[in-house]
Amino acid sequence: MHGLMVNEQERREIEYLLKREMGEITFDLGDHRIDPGIKQAMEERYDVLFQIFRRFAAREECLQYMPKKKKHN
């Protein structure tokens, strides 16, 4: 485990970057042209980013970005 000390401006920047990246992943997951294997990797990346986001964001914002339930085929 690692510790990280950031000031308020750095915290806001990290939060912004995480939101932006998660938004791009969400948008790309809706693209039917992307291979399912690639989408699986993108979903895994989203999960990791969300875990980091949870450490920086307010609870209400976390609810907006909570990963969707995965469909079982």
pLDDT in tens, 40-73: 999 999 999 999 999 989 999 999 999 877 654 4
Domain ranges of the chain: 8-65
Give CB contacts under 8 A, 24+ apart, made by 4-11: 11/56
What pTM was estimated for this model as a whole?
Answer: 0.85
| Neighbour-count burial of 51, counting CB atoms closer than 10 A to its CB (0-12 exposed, 13-18 middle, 19+ buried) | exposed
Q: Whole-angstrom distance between the N-terminal and C-terminal Cα of the chain?
A: 36
Would you state the pLDDT for residue 1? 83
pLDDT in tens, 1-30: 888 899 999 999 999 999 999 999 999 999
- Report the candidate in 67, 65, 45 with the shortest Cα–Cα distance to residue 57: 65
